[in-house]
C-alpha cells in the first residue's frame, strides 16, 4: 500500500481541512474526533507520511517515535485524564477496522471503558 497524500488527516495536517485542535508540536497534532465514541475522544497523528503502526514503528526515525509517544502522553495529561484513566487504541488494516490511512492513536476518556477489548468503545457503553 502506498501512502495517500490526500487522506483526511494529511489534509488536516496541511491546514486544508479544519479540526478542533487540542495540541500540536513538531512531532504530532491532536484534535477531537468528528464522531466521538466517549465524552473525550481525541486523535493524535504524527507529522510525516505513515500509513499505520506498521510503517511508523518500522520506518520512523527514533526521535519521531519518541516525540510522538511523548505527545500522546502530554495530550492525555492536558485533557485531565491521568487521574481517572483513559484508553488508547490504534487500528491497523482491514481487520483492525482502520478507516483513515494515516497512522493515528485514539484517546478515549471521560467514562468507564468496557473490558471487551476486541471492540472499539460504543457511544452508549456503560462498562
Ligand atoms: P480509524 O478506524 O481509522 O482508526 O478511525 C478513524 C477516525 O477518524 C474515526 O473515529 C472517525 O470518526 C475519525 N474521522 C474521520 N474523518 C474525520 C474528520 O474529517 N475529522 C475528524 N476530526 N475526525 C475524523
Per-position DSSP letters for 81-115, written without gaps between them:
-TTT-EEEE---HHHHT--SSS--EEEEESSPPPS
Residue 39 placed within a domain = yes
Q: Is residue 118 part of a domain?
A: no
The answer to whether position 125 is within a domain reads no
Please indicate, yes or no, if residue 119 is contained in any of the structural domains.
no
In a domain, 121, yes or no: no
CATH number at residue 49: 3.30.428.10
Which protein residue's CA is at the shortest distance from atom 12 of ligand 1? 35
104 is catalytic: yes
- Could you list the residue range(s) of the whole structural domain that residue 20 is in? 8-107
Render pLDDT for 38-62 as a digit per residue (tens, 0 to 9). 999 999 999 999 999 999 999 999 9
Q: Is the CB of 35 under 6 A from ligand 1?
A: yes
Of 32, 41, 102, 104, which one is the catalytic site residue?
Answer: 104
pLDDT digits (tens, 9 = 90+) for 76-111: 999 999 999 999 999 999 999 999 999 999 999 999
Determine, yes or no, domain membership for 116: no
**Centroid of ligand 1 to alpha carbon of 100 (angstroms):** 7
> Domains in the chain: how many in total?
1
The answer as to whether 99 is a domain residue is yes
Give me the mean pLDDT over the 1-5 stretch.
Answer: 96
Residue 119 confidence (pLDDT) above 80? no
pLDDT range class, residue 125, cuts 50, 70, 90? low
Amino acid at each position: 500500500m502506498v501512502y495517500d497524500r490526500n487522506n483526511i488527516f494529511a489534509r488536516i495536517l496541511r491546514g486544508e481541512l479544519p479540526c478542533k485542535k487540542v495540541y500540536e508540536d513538531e512531532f504530532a497534532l491532536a484534535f477531537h474526533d468528528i464522531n466521538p465514541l466517549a465524552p473525550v475522544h481525541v486523535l493524535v497523528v504524527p507529522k510525516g507520511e505513515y500509513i499505520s503502526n506498521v510503517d511508523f514503528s518500522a520506518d520512523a526515525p527514533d526521535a519521531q517515535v519518541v516525540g510522538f509517544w511523548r505527545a500522546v502522553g502530554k495530550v492525555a495529561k492536558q485533557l485531565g485524564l491521568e487521574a481517572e484513566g483513559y484508553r488508547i487504541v490504534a487500528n491497523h488494516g482491514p481487520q483492525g477496522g482502520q478507516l483513515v490511512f494515516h497512522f493515528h492513536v485514539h484517546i478515549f476518556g471521560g467514562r468507564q471503558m468496557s473490558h471487551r477489548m476486541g471492540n472499539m468503545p460504543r457511544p452508549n457503553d456503560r462498562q
